[in-house]
Amino acid sequence: MPSPHPRPPLSRRGFLIASAGAGAALGLAADPARAAAGRRPFGRYGSPEHRRTPGTLYVDPHGRGDFTTVQAAVTAATGSGRTLVLAPGVYRESVALDTTRTEATWIGASEDAHDVVIVYDNAAGTAKPGGGTYGTTGSATTTVQADGFTARWITFANDWLRADHPDISGTQAVALKVQGDRSAFHHCRFLGHQDTLYADSTALGVFARQYFAHCYAEGDVDFVFGRATAVYEGCHFRTLNRTDLAAVPYGFVFAPSTAVLNPRGYLVTRSRVTGEVPRASYKLARPWVPSSDSTARPSLVVRDSRLGPGIDAVAPYTDMSDAFPWQSQRFAEYRNLGPGAEITVPANRPQLTAEQAESATREAYLGDWTPWKER
């Protein structure tokens, strides 16, 4: 269901400025409909006095729900099939949903992801209180491990900035790490710089299926990455400009790490890649073969999508390691448009045949799970 109050994507840098003014700066009170939402923070999804279902919990940073933080609600929502309704606001916290809390649903009550923001600012190199550093996984603002998770109209953000921490070399800063099978995100936003959206699984031998529909993700280095079987349908990927680099590439949109035994990795369909960046300053993808799985064979198909001029059309792929050249991985395209999709060096742009494209669909990737039919 599209937002009743559509707005252009707010960049992560714009978000940082806006968040200084909290709710008002995010546009919650400027619109009459949003002013009404302030009086009814949970919109059409009930309230603590009139619960949508007995298993529904309400979260509001201003104290009008059952809890003021998302993590407190997650902790209370034990078992399976629980729903959290999140009132508009900025939730500055890290959140973790463990494997026991299956079939959970989180709903942004205003039905506009700009209004409900879960954000924190750890990076891989950030020092932990007990010693050591967080690492990439530990940097995640939100971690979802449970199967059957669904989120709608929520922004997941990590607002850690390199410029503020020149002493830290571990600059990975994850907004969302999702590992569960049958994890679906509808009309959500993922804001960060390096390693924004970590679409992964709980273990090497687990082939987790994930679905992202009409979502927005932005970043610079490998900002959509991991080993999940993930379908991105009707999504918008935005590359951020870099003023800290003297030469291109500024970054890489995708960095899949698909297990060699998994026949399907990332599928990007009917989506677009944009960015107010210099022409050909970004690579579309590079393969990630992590030290924990040196047998990985990353898989990415980008089809029926529009690639803006920021993507290097001559050489859209590059290596992350000389030992694992991208040409040995499973990268392919099909019927893409835009200046970043122009085929100037065919050897650098592997294309699916029409017959191969018949197997590069959401149905083939997700099997008996049909999240696009969910309401």
Residues 6 or more apart whose CB falls under 8 angstroms from that of 132 comprise none
What distance lies between CA 19 and its chain's CA centroid?
Answer: 20
H-helix segments, 291-340 = none
Residues 6 or more apart whose CB falls under 8 angstroms from that of 10 comprise 18, 114
What is the residue-averaged pLDDT of the chain? 92
Which burial class, exposed, middle or buried, applies to 54 when counting CB atoms under 10 A from its CB (0-12, 13-18, 19+)?
Answer: exposed
| 129 in Cβ contact with 162 (< 8 Å) | no
d(CA 107, CA 74): 13
pLDDT digits (tens, 9 = 90+) for 188-223: 999 999 999 999 999 999 999 999 999 999 999 999
What dihedral do alpha carbons 314, 237, 145, 91 form, nearest 10°? 150
Retrieve residue 315's tokens: 């050489």
pLDDT digits (tens, 9 = 90+) for 349-371: 999 999 999 999 999 999 999 99
* Assessment of whether the complete model's pTM goes beyond 0.85: yes
pLDDT digits (tens, 9 = 90+) for 37-68: 567 999 999 999 999 999 999 999 999 999 99
pLDDT digits (tens, 9 = 90+) for 221-239: 999 999 999 999 999 999 9
Closest CA to 141 of 67, 90, 206: 90
Give the position of tokens 């679409």. 199
| 255 in Cβ contact with 286 (< 8 Å) | yes
d(CA 231, CA 266): 6
Q: Phi and psi at residue 36, in whole multiples of 5°?
A: -65, -35
- β-partners of residue 306 are 272, 337
In the structure, what pLDDT confidence band is assigned to residue 25 with cuts at 50, 70 and 90?
very low
d(CA 352, CA 298): 16
